[in-house]
Structure 1
Amino acid sequence: MIRGVGLYCDGTVRPDGVVPIEVGTTFDDDDARVLASLWLEAKEAGPDSFVWLGLRNVEHAELTRAADVLGLDELLVEDALSVTQRAKVEVDGDRVTAVFKILGYVEETSDVETGQIAVFVGPSFVLSVRMGEPGDLRDMRSRLEGDFELLQAGPLAVLHGILDVVVDGYISVAEELGVDIEQIEEQVFSPERTDDAATIYKLKRENLELRRAVEPLTPVADALVRGRLIPIPEVLGPYYRDLGDHLLRAADLSTQHDNLLGAALEASRSRQAVQQNEDMRKISAWVAIAAIPTAIAAIYGMNFDDMPELRWDLGYPAVMIVIFSGMFALYRAFKRSGWL
């Protein structure tokens, strides 16, 4: 589905009504011919002019049409459509291929929703392909279209804008997971007896989604901070360096979360072991106390004729006193030792 299209020349955007590609429709052969015409117009307008086509949840045939127009390799098409593709940034001459995981936090269920966006940047064109729900770019497109200085920087301004949305999503998810981890830590060390292992495992799985998205981009972040990844226009230099810093921060947060969750899981297991040990001690103490009347009753239940005290008038009271005295003595001993 076509999510957006624009022709940007000399820092201005061509009015939507003039671009004869309808948003919200399937990218067909007619759209491919229009895209070729717009791309030619952008190349003729100058190096800072470009056409940006945004697609979302497209079929293979749709993306292939756009790739044929822009001269993209079939393998790149496969990467853009594969939701299991590892995040990466590749530079080949004047072309940049970037695949990012997009993350969103679902407040109701504390789940991390994962999507993907592939961005192809070349001479006078940008093609973005988004798969999944997270990562709406409409607000970013509107902000970019209102910034004359950034638009003049060319296609790399779009790449920065998309990466900015993606990285902001990483930071937001990392902060939300941090709140969840603080809550689970309070539960683990609360006086109430709780089984938090399942919740901790779930949080570790959600944090794993963050790590899978961020860790492959750590070298990219370092290169962005040092300005060694791609030739970046001077006006975009500070923006890309800031993105690199945010990526590294997201990577650090994901590592910290994993360490905290591991420690919380160990603490939960240790606490469960202590609780089980306390339960076993209590059970053992009560079994020992109950063994006194059980043993005496078993002896006198054997029904031998010559057993002592069977015909003694005070035999029953004496036995009961012995039973309760022994039970009380054991109870006090276990209570003092902390078993009860």
Structure 2
Amino acid sequence: MQDDSRRSASYTVPCEGYVDVVEFSPFDNGTAGSLLAYGGNQLVVVGSVRFQEEDLEVEGVEFTTLQIFSHTLRVDALAWSPESHLDKLPQLIRFCTAAADFKLRVLSSDLQNKHEVKVFGGHTSFINHLVYEPTEGQQIASVSDDHTCRVWDLQGNETTSFRLRSPGISVCWHPEEVFKLMVAEKRGTIRFYDLVTRQAILSLDCGQSPLMSADWCLTNTIKVGAVVGSDWLIWDITRSSYPQEKRPAHVGRARLFKWSRANENLFSTTGCPGKISSQLLVHHLGHPQPVMIGSAMVGAGLSWHRTLPLCVIGGDRKLFFWMTEM
């Protein structure tokens, strides 16, 4: 592994408390910057962030806090709604969180004086991941340790439920074919469901466990990636149910896998938070070794910018941003 791939964060932003979750909005929200939310103990901070790579008037990074939302419990997962926008009035910020009481919360604000929280109950154990339907934002899918994937409408009604064979770890929605949902299970199985027929239409096998995180490459949907044990795995779903590539990623257990939204060959993985060996690694499918190793001790959360080859992780009172020069 080359020494020149080991890098300090390109940018850091100070923030409130320890960051458990951080998410760029994956949608075009009609703003000069990107919407970013981070959550910790009893709060979610939403802001707009701009980088010098997209605006020459910015020196490094510029983060503007738009709203601080009170949150009853620690935030375990967060997903942006495609309805969020800042380019017309009234403005709208909307996202969904999961917390330790096994409930979902949909938080909405016009950034003036109208704020709304809707609480959805139904899961009977911890919720590990959630996602909005990406075109209209009228449905939310969530996966839980209770061995279910559930789909909800915005009134909190459970419209569909899939019984899983182990805890649900990750869930992803196809960017255009909104009846297709990907669900990853801890035992090492990834299934694709048809929401119309409510049947599984395809499954992938890791050949090992525990699966800790999986992601669907939304710029090229034949690609799926995951971290299982200490390895990363990549599938071409048109070729085989077994991974085409598999490599060791981290000393000890890997924690998160996320595809870049700007480059279909770029992805990142993290180790488990709080360990010196748990770096952020950025990988490129054309390179045998990581193209970048983040030198900071990793906190929690991992998200990619919508258009830049830049990812963010959370830490203790800081957000860390890494720009990949590809």
Q: TM-score, normalised by structure 1?
A: 0.24
Greater radius of gyration (CA): 1
Compare the two structures and name the one with the higher strand fraction. 2
Compare the two structures and name the one with the higher helix fraction. 1
RCO comparison, higher one (Cα < 8 Å, 6+): 2
Q: TM-score, normalised by structure 2?
A: 0.25
